[in-house]
Amino acid sequence: MIRSEGVHCEAGGFRLQGIDLEIGRGEYFVLLGPPGSGKTVFLECLCGLRRIRSGRILVGGEDVTRAEPRRRGVGYVPQDYALFPHRSVARNIAFGPEAAGLDRGEVERRVLRTAERLGIRHLLDRRIAGLSGGEKQRVALARALATSPRVLLLDEPLSALDETTREEVALELLRLQGELGTTTLHVCHVFEEARILAGRLGIMIGGTLAQTGPVEEVFSRPRTPELARFLRAGTVLEGTAEPEGDGALLRAGPIRLRSEARASGPVSFVVLADAVRLSSGGTAGGENVLEGRLIHLSPRGLFARADVEIAPGVRLEAHLPRTDPWPAPGTTVTVRFPAAAVHVFPGRGT
């Protein structure tokens, strides 16, 4: 539905370098990247607020590279929402239909329909200044949807919300997108948000698109050690590999691990934190079963991050679900993970 072909753009001292991305009809695509990686600049290029230096942008197969923003059929919800403070909620939602020259009755029908869909009908007469963060977010979304866009671009739509509201609104975004089927590109820098929402995920770092793919694949098979660190996918280690059976035996300092990947020579690999499980007490031995001391445990929303020292100077990171019993920090623990959780980075020693 929306395609970016080799998009280059300069914004101040920042460069967007040859972004190739295609998002299919009805897809919910999340673009994840640290602040300052060029996500907002890319969105501005897509909706025509920023001229690109080279490349092409296509919406629904139509080349819109040189089209004005209003002729692209793209709805845009900027960060902080940019609601019109001089208009009521209803007049904000009516802005697009009015600009399209629809008659008054149709404008009002669209306002009501969109407000009902987003559950904000009771806010229609309110001024923007008195709304909460979650309400503003819904109004901004309603304003963009009232124009019936072919593609919806959301720039950090949940970043201004508190944690509880964020989860609630994220699920609502999914529900809404499921109902409407609007192709959506959602930009954010929060991993949990990306994991909840994304069908497919793209990672943008330093103005380049580092990796795209289904969300679980990107998190479990990051393309480079740098990406693995950025995604906090797990513990990145350097070592050597020798083929063994269907996979390889990896050595990193004093520890030995088995991976399903075939590799040999010097390698970088990541032990995926989501797959690492802990149990109290030490019973080391067997494949990918190690003994260590739980150094630190910090709850983070739906999971807790645990750091286990398995050898002097070597720590493994684990993400423990809420449903698992959490061992006490400072105690000896047994660490287990499957060979499939040891991902060897391609192109290094294989």
Partner 1 sequence: MSPVRGRPDRLLAAAVFLFVGLFAAFAVVLIAADALYVDRKAVLTILTADFILDALWRSLWTSVLTTAIALLFAVPMGYALSRYRFPGHVLVDTLVDLPIVFPPLVAGMTLLVFFHQTAPGRWIEGGLGLRFAFQPAGIVLCQFVLAASFAIRSAKTAFDEVDRRLEDVALTLGCTQWGSLFRVALPLARGGILAGGIMTWARSFGVFGPLMIFVGTFRGRTEVLSTTIFLEQSVGNLEVALALSLLLIGVALVSLVAIRLAAGPPWRKP
Residue 72's alpha-carbon distances to 75, 79, 149, in angstroms, are: 9, 20, 9
Q: With binding defined as CB under 8 A, does residue 69 bind partner 1?
A: yes
**Residue in 97, 108, 86 with CA at minimum distance from that of residue 143:** 97
Phi, psi of 110 (to 5 degrees): -65, -40
Q: How far apart are CA 114 and CA 339, in angstroms?
A: 49
Nearer to partner 1, 143 or 186 (CB): 143
* Residue 144 binding partner 1, by CB under 8 A: yes
CB-nearer residue toward partner 1: 74 or 278: 74
Distance CA 186, CA 190 (A): 11
CB 84 → partner 1: shortest distance, Å? Answer: 6
Integer Cα distance of 43 and 113 in angstroms: 27
Determine if 41 is a binding residue for partner 1 (CB under 8 A). Answer: no
User: Residue 133, Cβ neighbours under 10 Å: how many?
Assistant: 17
Instruction: Give the footprint of partner 1 on residues 244-273 (CB under 8 A).
Output: none
User: Which lies closer to partner 1 via its Cβ, residue 148 or residue 279?
Assistant: 148
The residue within the footprint of partner 1, chosen from 147, 220, 224, 288 (CB under 8 A), is: 147
Tell me the per-residue interface mask from 76 to 115 with partner 1, x by CB under 8 A, - otherwise. x-x-x-x-xxx--------xx--xx---------------
Closest CA to 227 of 41, 32, 40, 43: 32
Q: Which residue lies nearer to partner 1 by CB, 182 or 235?
A: 182
Site of interaction with partner 1 (CB under 8 A):
44, 47-49, 68-70, 72, 74-76, 78, 80, 82, 84-86, 95-96, 99-100, 143-144, 147
